[in-house]
Structure 1
Amino acid sequence: MLAAEAGAARNTLLAYRADLEAARKALGGPVSSASVEALKSLGEQWSDLAASTVARRSAALRRFYGFLFDEGFRSDDPSSTLPRPKLSRPLPRILDPDEVERMLEGAAEKAQGERPVALRNLALLELLYGSGLRASELVSLPRRGVRPGSPFLILAGKGGKERLVPVSDRAHAAIAAWDAVHPGGKWLFPGGKAHLSRVRLFQIVRAMAADVGIAPDRVSPHVLRHAFATHLLSGGADLRTLQALLGHSDIATTQIYTHVDASRLVELVNARHPLARRGD
């Protein structure tokens, strides 16, 4: 159902499968026929897990039992007994613009030697920060996915939903340099028998941070995506535009980035709001 009707991406399907498997182990038997009493025990069994993990597993089970009830496989929906931990959304980790620029300058300096690995790494970094791609979206780009001179890239993101993302002149130049030494194949960033893995991308990004004196544990592909969003917002982008560029289905997800721009918003209210001018 998730694949055929909801159009869930492969990673989403794998996550649901893993959560249902974890529930099966905790229950000691089939999840589909679990009793209300058995489900009540999950809260205690999962008490040592992070609240976000418990919330995700419970959400997967609620979706599963809702499906069973709707399709007539169960006469009841026992999901009301599942744990509902309180969650507080953490603020995204970000880098300052000068820190990102240091990473870009360091990668560009290495790429001047025209070593294939250095040219590839610069192209990866330019797309991560300049386009705000998710790690999985970046590593799975096809060889000709970025068209020379085109200011946008059409991307199939989560759930197969297409969106336009910007491609800067700097990113185009880095991709062209990488393409000149590209080993060939289906993927823009090949690795092993397929494309570069997300784990390998994570390692590459952290190594580039360490090369310019930035603590590696502060940097990841997702942190660079956060930096893309935060710096765009600081530069004047509105939330709806940012939502479209990031591929968020709910603008509430995008609103988390407003915390970094509080000072600019206060200045905007003081300068533009009619009440701010009453004392003039």
Structure 2
Amino acid sequence: MHDDEGHHRGSDWLDRAVSAFLEHGRHGRGLSEQTVRAYRADLDDLTAFASGRGIDRTDGITLELLRDWLWTANERGLARSTIARRSASVRAFTRWASESGVLPVDPGVRLRAPKGAAHLPRVVAQDQVREMLDGLSARAVGDDPAALRDLAVVELLYAAGIRVSELVGLDLTDLDRERLTVRVLGKGGKERVVPFGVPARDALEDWLERGRPALAAAGTPSTGAPPARTSAAGTALFLGDRGARLGTRSAYRIVARLLEALPGDGPSGPHTFRHTAATHLLDGGADLRAVQEMLGHASLGTTQIYTHVSSARLREVYRTAHPRA
């Protein structure tokens, strides 16, 4: 017997139910064609798998069948991200089937997607950092304001392990060159004071004395401009090429150009220096809670990822260096 929507409750043909679900997604939920295609590919694979088990109706879709389907995908060597996506697709389908009466219960509600593979953050080796900073220092010798800024930006990112959003938000008054500390405003509006070293201080002093005034002048209005108009530099510690506060995208480009030139895979953004600073601190014997406070992590568990990085690096060194590895 058909219900008002033309479904056989609990015994609809599976391929027909999948088509109805996709139409609902396309027209009822306004999903993009790309999302609908992804759903179709995953559910077509499920339909073929079920058919191989002699199942062609929706009431044959059980939790055990779904688990077997994902397990088979895993045995075939599919990526964890692909299996997780398939799990999400089938859970969306069974939820719709349950809510629309095609299925009496939702077998996918207890289906758990596999966790994605744990990707350790990219960390730049100490000798690579040193070589990079030496190259920036050589460029800054000629008093090019952009080169002076780039050196100060990278030195501070690495020395203090701060986020790029925290870096571009710094004002001149946040810097304490005598105490070698910088005051940053982190996530949730939480303020913290972070130390930095002498090389970062020297780069910052060169930037403030020889680089920043030149870029600030680029943002100063020409003679005859309205009196209310002032320099775009304002109170910002770091400035872009046009004299206004350095933006996140510009800071990202500065770092990306440097990191992309280095050997190794992984992200090339400013966060890599944050990962690198934390790992090098732990490699040097720093206390985990001190690193947590420096990075501004709310949870110690977030900081602990860097202990895994240090352990992974130690294992790699052991494998390549120990004669009995």
The reply to whether TM is greater than 0.5 is yes
Partner of 1:257: 306
State how many pairs are aligned: 205
Partner of 1:174: 203
TM-score, normalised relative to structure 2: 0.54
Name the CA shift for 1:131/1:190 in 2 (closer, same or farther; >3 Å).
same
Higher relative contact order, structure no. (Cα contacts within 8 Å, ≥ 6 residues apart): 1
TM-score, normalised relative to structure 1: 0.62
* Residue 205 (structure 1) aligned with residue 234 (structure 2): no
Larger deviation: 156-165 or 180-189?
Answer: 180-189
* Residue 118 (structure 1) aligned with residue 147 (structure 2): yes
CA distance in 2, matches of 1:94, 1:236: 17
Partner of 1:229: 278
Name the CA shift for 1:215/1:256 in 2 (closer, same or farther; >3 Å).
closer
CA distance in 2, matches of 1:159, 1:231: 26
Partner of 2:175: 146
The answer to whether the 8 A contact 1:150-1:167 is kept is no
The answer to whether the 8 A contact 2:161-2:273 is kept is yes
CA distance in 1, matches of 2:276, 2:146: 24
Partner of 2:138: 109
Name the CA shift for 1:208/1:157 in 2 (closer, same or farther; >3 Å).
same
Cα deviation for residue 200 of structure 1 reads 1.4
Q: Which amino acid aligns with 1:101?
A: R
* Residue 247 (structure 1) aligned with residue 296 (structure 2): yes
CA distance in 1, matches of 2:288, 2:180: 21
Residues 27-42 of structure 1: pairs in structure 2 closer than 5 A: 28=29
Larger deviation: 180-189 or 236-245?
Answer: 180-189
Partner of 2:236: 187
Larger deviation: 91-100 or 81-90?
Answer: 81-90
User: Is the partner of 1:123 in helix, strand or coil?
Assistant: helix
Q: Which amino acid aligns with 1:87?
A: K
The answer to whether the 8 A contact 2:120-2:309 is kept is no
Cα deviation for residue 170 of structure 1 reads 1.2
Partner of 1:274: none
Gap regions ≥5 residues in structure 1: 1-24, 30-40, 55-80, 267-280
Cα deviation for residue 168 of structure 1 reads 1.3
Cα deviation for residue 206 of structure 1 reads 2.0
Q: Which amino acid aligns with 1:106?
A: G
% same residue: 39
**1:207-263 alpha-carbon deviations (Å, 9 max, x no partner):** 23456x556965321111100000000000011111111111111111111123328
The answer to whether the 8 A contact 1:229-1:242 is kept is yes
Partner of 1:158: 187
Cα deviation for residue 179 of structure 1 reads 0.8
